[in-house]
A and B are shown apart, each in its own frame.
Chain A
Amino acid sequence: MDSILFETFTYLCAAVIAVPIAQRLGLGSVLGYLIAGIVIGPLFGLVGAETETIRHVAEFGVVLMLFLVGLELQPQSLWAMRGRLLGLGGLQVLVSAALIAAAGLAIGLDWRLALAIGLIFSLSSTAIVLQTLSEKGLTKTDGGRASFSVLLFQDIAVIPMLALIPLLALPELSGETVNGHLPAAAGHGEAAHPASMSLVAGLPSWAHALVVLGAVSAVLLGGYFLSRPLFRFIADSRLREIFTASALLLVVGIALLMTLVDLSPALGTFLAGVVLANSEFRTELESDIEPFKGLLLGLFFITVGAGIDFGVLSADLVLILALTAGVILVKGLVLFALAGWFRLKPGDRWLFTLALAPAGEFGFVLLSFGQQNAVIAPELAKTLSLVVALSMLLTPALFLLYERLVLPRLRGGDEREPDQIEQPGTVIIAGVGRFGQIVNRMLLASSVRTVVLDHEAAILDMLRQLGIKAYYGDASRPDLLQAAGIAEASVFVVAIDDRERAVQMVEYVRRNYPHVQIIARAFDVNHLYLLKQAGADVAVRELFDTSTRVGSEVLRRLGLHPFKVEKMEQAFRRHDAAGLAKLYEVWDEHPDIARNRAYLARAREHGETLKEMMETDRLQLHDRSERGWTPPPKGYTDELGD
């Protein structure tokens, strides 16, 4: 127990200190975690052998990350990137592996060993690259998308690689390794699962294929048909932690299923994410999984840093540095050429090259797997895993290179993007009861993109049947607002039933996203003032407009001329608006209206002016409501001729 607490404390402490500093220095969080790992591992020796075990647990963060990536990706867009996925990704892996293997052959390695090394180094770091891309807001750029296609292909390519590696066993190593160690789950988190848990071990290949196919279709069909009613049932219980638990259960379950059939858990959860991308629970799932992913990934990066063996490193410093540089250079050349061939723009080409050139965490998996299968000698594996770790350490640094050196130069260049047509930004509507729904309908009819949040699953179901994009969740939760895209939104509409939460929401958004315009629905004058005070740009009383319309209707029914009624209504509204502004000054001093004497006195006073106004109007036909159409005085023409 003590040691667990101590380790937890050490890891957390390192992260809490290193990451904000790295972020402040503009290095990005990933580099911060890696440095934290180096400090507590090789530098001060606070953590030791257990990092290996922790890393396998932490690799689950990558599984969670791919689930989240899948959630952001509609099935259509996945289909749209098939060309890049297979072309760009496939060529990258094949050509890089071939070149590195050729280099190995050239220095006299056995062809089998050379091929294994080529495969290991052809892969890049999904975890670091995706995390850094999203942190720097580069995910949606063309270079970011291309990088993602390649990373996804690599995740898939690991599966055949794991099948291939045992065939490359070197006869002279076979004696030393433990025989009969079956390939466990492919991909991330591999060693965390005992090898005995496999549904397909020992099956003939056709049956194997059938089981795999069955598992994948179970994920796809289950995600499509079963998840919605299940999540609805859980959502109706209104227990937030149970929703979180079920979200985790879903991811863990899929990862387990994939492991049982020897597929990559990351790939499985990615597919599940894609299937759920259109679901109303998307934002809620995102915000529930996000913290787990963040912590686990951070832990993973720390273990990479902590795993660097300075002893081996200093012994073979020149060799390891040369190998690292060589790998990055060879892969970089391949990537740069491919990026040119696939017509990426210069800026994106550099981003793509620099992001993917270093090796990745799959390298560790394949290395230990190769070691178990008598492909790579333990000593060599140690050196190579240092090369992997070191080049991963360099990934964030290469991103910095891109930001500081490549981008500024490109901006100065003659290549200018054509001016884009300004599109109105997204509008987030919190609460789509009777009020928010009308707002949403009007905006949609005007082709404005809206994101709608509500915690009534039944309402959402109906809206989705009408083809409206609506998401489940308590809109007053900051993480959910974030998942809904508040940072990029132009306008935020608060139309929820809960008065206090509405005010809190306005406060939160005003404080954290000052550029977002806030329009809030108020219940009454007091609520309106509270919303204004909280920072709403516009607060509108929900019943005022309809009430004045009813008032006008009554006046018309009493026989007043419709246009006169219109003018009276306008005068009444002007008077009311002026009163609201006047009373706010006194309200601000003491928001409890019932006890605020100054407020009550001023309200009475203002009320009397209204009556006065209306009476004057009736008698003399000469007040603001009539002004402008007041005829000039009788006989006024006498003075005009000169």
Chain B
Amino acid sequence: MQIDPTPPARAETRQPSLLKQRILVLLAHPSIDRSEVNRPLAVATGQVPGVTLVDLYAEYPTFQIDIDREQGRLADHDVIVFMHPLYWYSTPAILKEWQDLVLEHGFAYGRTGTALRGKLLFNALTAGGSEAAYRAEGYNHYTIRELLHPIEQTAMLCGMIYLPPFALFAARTAVEEGRVDGHVRDWIRLLEALRDGRCDLDAARRAPTLSHHLDLIIKPG
């Protein structure tokens, strides 16, 4: 099982288009064929015009990440999304590897590292625990936003605008409870709004998650 990546001809050539924001979704799921939520999410993502989907585990099965290619992709897009299941309150290993390799000094940060300035970054993640668990009184003790602070701080150091996550909680029972389709629909709605510049970024930055406050974030239009 492999998620069809966006054909390079369409996605990776810069062309003057009417689309306001180009979106790059980096998918990291080490066993996509067993995935119940990330797979439909990724498949739907690949079909949105103006959105580039990269399946990192498919492209770099031995973790030999091509730094130049990845930096080129970052330069070509305005919105960067890490799409992944939450593994130990963080990303799967390949996304960490990707950060370690691609966000180089002199490219992403440092005096001359300005390539990512002003771009948006956020996580589209699925979490096993329910939302109640991600609270001070829950068994995870921290909110999802708090747990993602390392990524938020990474974004800040690179001069990027960090947004709260687009999250699905209690993901292991989402199929049984019929919550996947609605989640995918919301995701496409958000992607299209981001692409067409119909998002209130200030409202988005203040929200605890993107997924639960779409009506607040997306401007009518």
Contact = CB atoms under 8 A, between A and B. Distances in A.
A217 interface: no
Interface in B9-65: 64-65
Contact of A627 (B67, B110, B157): B67
Interface of B: 64-65, 67, 100-102, 104-105, 109-111, 157
Contacts of A639: 110-111
A579 B71 CA distance: 24
A75 B150 CA distance: 65
A628 B104 contact: yes
Contact of A570 (B64, B102, B105): B64
22 contacts: A570-B64, A627-B67, A627-B101, A627-B104, A628-B65, A628-B67, A628-B100, A628-B101, A628-B102, A628-B104, A629-B100, A629-B101, A632-B105, A632-B110, A633-B105, A636-B105, A636-B110, A639-B110, A639-B111, A640-B109, A640-B110, A640-B157
Contacts of A629: 100-101
Most B Cβ at <10 Å: residue of A570, A628, A629: A628
Interface residues of A, number: 9
Interface of A: 570, 627-629, 632-633, 636, 639-640
Nearest to B159: A642
Interface residues of B: mostly helix, strand, loop or mixed?
A: mixed
B180 to A, nearest CB: 20
Contacts of B67: 627-628
A239 B105 CA distance: 69
B93 to A, nearest CB: 15
A627 B102 CA distance: 10
Contacts of B101: 627-629
Contacts of A627: 67, 101, 104
A629 B105 CA distance: 10
A629 B109 CA distance: 15
Contacts of A632: 105, 110
Nearest to A638: B111
B33 to A, nearest CB: 12
Contacts of A636: 105, 110
A78 B105 CA distance: 70
Nearest to B103: A628
Most A Cβ at <10 Å: residue of B67, B101, B110: B110
A633 B104 CA distance: 11
A627 B104 CA distance: 9
A627 B105 CA distance: 11
Nearest to A637: B110
A522 B157 CA distance: 49
Nearest to B110: A636
A187 B101 CA distance: 77
B166 to A, nearest CB: 29
Contacts of B104: 627-628
Given A639-B110, A639-B111, A640-B157, 11 more contacts: A627-B67, A627-B101, A627-B104, A628-B102, A629-B100, A629-B101, A632-B105, A632-B110, A633-B105, A636-B110, A640-B110
